[in-house]
Every structure is written in C-alpha cells, then in structure tokens.
C-alpha cells in the first residue's frame, strides 16, 4: 500500500522508472539534412517530469558516439553506436496540411535487458522504447518491480525491414500481448490504435488514445471518456505524445485522478508543439502548474490506493474548472513572455531547446506520427 505524504510543489517525488533509449534523430528533406537533434521518448518524458518536480530513475543505453549532455546519464555501451533515426519528409501535404514521412533506423544500440533495471521497487514504470530496445522479458521485469506500468504502444509494435524502415505490426503479433493483463495503461496515437482491437484491449488494461489538437480519449473496462484539449500555436509537433505521457504520469504521481491527470498530459502536449525540438518550459509557468496540481490533488489519497474504477475514472467535480485554470496559467505565461520580449536589453530566452549544442530547425510544421 502506497502512503501519501503531503508534498510542497517543489519537493521531488522519487517514484518513477523510465525505460527507453536516447537516440540521435536526423531530419532530411529534399535529400538534405535540415535538423539533427536528441531523440527518444525518454528525453521528452524526463523533461516534463523534471518540470513537475518528479524525480525518477532512467534506464537508457547509448553508444560511445552519444553527443548530447543530459541530466540523467545513460548506460554507455563501448562496442555499440547510439540508435539513429533518419526521417525523410516529402514535399506533399495531406488534407490536414501535415507532411508524410518515412522513418528509418540506421543504427541500433543494444536492447535493454532485465538485468539493466535497478533492483528496487517503484510506484510507476514507463516502457517507452522507440527502436525495439524493450524486450518482452524486460517488460515482464518492469511489471514485477513497478506497482503500475505504463506502456507506449510504439515500444511494442514497431518493426524494421531490411533497410531499417519502420513498420507497425498488430499488437497480437508483437510478442507482448500476453502481458496486457499485467499492465495498467497502454498509450497509442490515433494512427497506432488501428493496430489493436481497443474494445478487446480495454478489458485487460486502460487504453489512452491521443488525437493531437482534439485532446485524448480514455477507455477502460466499463466506460470511456473524452478529455478536452488546449489551444496551441503549433510549430513542431515532434514529441507531443511523449510529453502527454509524461504529464499524465506526473499528474498521477502527484495524486490526481485519471481524468485530471489526462488534462495535465494534454496541457504538456500543447506546450511541446509550440516549441522547436525539446522544449525548455518557462519556470514561472511550471511553478503555477505545480501549484494548480497541488490544489487540485485529492488530499490524503493516492491513485494507486484506489480500487474502485468509478472513483478513479469518473470526472470529479471541478474538472472543467481545473481545465480553465490550466488554460489561464498558459495565457498569463504567454503575456509575460510577450512583455519580456518587448523589454529593452532583455536577455532571457525561455523557448530555447534544453540541451546545449542541440540543433533543430522548423520543417514546415512536420507531423510526428509516432505521438
């Protein structure tokens, strides 16, 4: 049984295990490289959890060529290279003004084995591989050491042909299907959800399907609900789904019920698309969000302690007001940034990517289908 201890908004909470490799991402258009950046879902999720003052253990593998400074050191494999993805974007647009892409894995680091995981217990585990690094036996070990395991479906259904091109396989054919009854949440984009039978999977674990600008839907055994989105000035959608998952789990860690935590997920997804690359969140905004979450928290109880689906999943009183409060915080932060940009001699820049040396350029509002 998890005991909830009252926390101040800035007190780190050590309760989360993130499992997934860092990557090098290379974006190409018209045969030319237009961006190189730190990749991997783990980078976006850790960024959000840090912003929410949730401390965590991250298990990630890279090669000796890994070139980005990070706050949580990965396991360096001397005989391997860091996983590298090339994303090829064509010049055509879909009816939604989003570009299509072909994603290729051109280098692959070692998989994460059960023995690589820490020998301790966690409240929450997050399996967020992007390059096939999560093995069935590793996920099984996560289930053993974590009270609640959250999985991004891309960690389970991505496959790679002889050229490294990313393909998706049906969840039943992934080798992970037998573990579904032992998971708590499975997150998928609307595109990825086509590769599973939601009506069947929801009988085993909760399913969260993200719909970009339209928010998300939560499915569980006895019901479903839509969670409202937040407006965003979309610049680069890369990592929005990862940031959603980080915000969702961060909300649950702080004691929110599922619908309110999903709002926090939608909120961080909307923040991410307004940045180029890995976002550096405005510190004043983060402080306001943590205060809103702390105020909203159901005092004296924790999501992990609840056993009644109706208590955990039903929208509580004040849910819409919580959405309005988060939206208001976002608007106030935007106004502050505009005022700051007008101030003579101002040197603070709040939208610059977090990692020094990282370059990421606007690519005509590229749509990341993995999120």
Pull the structure tokens for residue 262: 């999903």
Rounded Cα distance between 49 and 20, Å, is: 15
Pull the structure tokens for residue 315: 């929208």
Q: 242, 260, 282, 368: which one is catalytic?
A: 242
**Pairing, β 23-29 against β 84-93:** parallel
Question: Alpha helices, DSSP H only, in the chain?
Answer: 41-51, 136-145, 154-157, 198-201, 240-253, 258-272, 283-296, 309-313, 319-342
Contact between 261 and 219 under an 8 Å Cβ cutoff? The reply is no
Coil, strand, or helix at residue 367? coil
Judge whether 242 counts as a catalytic residue.
yes
Contact between 151 and 129 under an 8 Å Cβ cutoff? The reply is no
Rounded Cα distance between 244 and 260, Å, is: 13
Residues assigned a catalytic role: 242
């Amino acid at each position: 049984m998890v005991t909830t201890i009252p926390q101040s908004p800035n007190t780190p909470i050590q309760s989360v295990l993130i499992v997934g490799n860092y990557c090098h991402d290379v974006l190409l258009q018209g045969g030319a490289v237009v961006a190189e950046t730190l990749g991997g879902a783990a980078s976006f999720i850790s960024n959000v959890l840090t912003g929410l003052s949730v401390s965590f253990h991250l298990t990630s593998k890279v090669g000796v060529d890994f070139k980005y400074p990070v706050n949580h050191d990965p396991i360096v494999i001397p005989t391997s290279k860091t996983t590298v993805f090339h994303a090829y974007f064509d010049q055509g647009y879909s009816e939604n003004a989003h570009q299509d892409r072909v994603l290729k894995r051109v280098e692959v680091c070692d998989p994460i084995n059960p023995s690589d995981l820490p020998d301790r217990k966690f409240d929450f585990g997050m399996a967020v591989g992007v390059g096939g690094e999560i093995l069935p036996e590793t996920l099984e070990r996560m289930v053993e050491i974590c009270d609640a395991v959250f999985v991004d479906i891309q960690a389970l259904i991505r496959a790679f042909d002889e050229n490294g091109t990313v393909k998706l396989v049906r969840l039943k054919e992934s080798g992970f299907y037998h573990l579904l009854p032992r998971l708590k949440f499975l997150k998928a984009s609307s595109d990825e959800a086509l590769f599973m039978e939601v009506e069947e999977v929801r009988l085993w674990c909760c399913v969260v399907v993200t719909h970009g600008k339209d928010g998300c839907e939560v499915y569980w055994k006895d019901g479903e609900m839509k969670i409202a989105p937040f407006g965003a000035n979309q610049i680069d959608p890369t990592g929005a789904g990862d940031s959603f998952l980080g915000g969702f789990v961060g909300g649950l860690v702080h004691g929110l019920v599922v619908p309110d935590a999903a709002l926090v997920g939608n909120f961080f997804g909307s923040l991410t698309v307004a940045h180029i690359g890995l976002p550096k969140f405005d510190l004043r905004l983060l402080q306001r969000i943590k205060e809103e979450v702390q105020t909203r928290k159901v005092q004296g109880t924790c999501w992990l302690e609840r056993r009644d689906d109706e208590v955990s999943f039903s929208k509580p009183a004040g849910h819409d007001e919580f959405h309005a409060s988060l939206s208001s915080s976002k608007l106030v932060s935007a106004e502050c940034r505009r005022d700051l940009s007008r101030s003579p001699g101002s040197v603070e820049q709040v939208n610059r990517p977090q990692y020094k040396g990282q370059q990421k350029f606007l690519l005509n509002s590229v749509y990341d289908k993995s999120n």
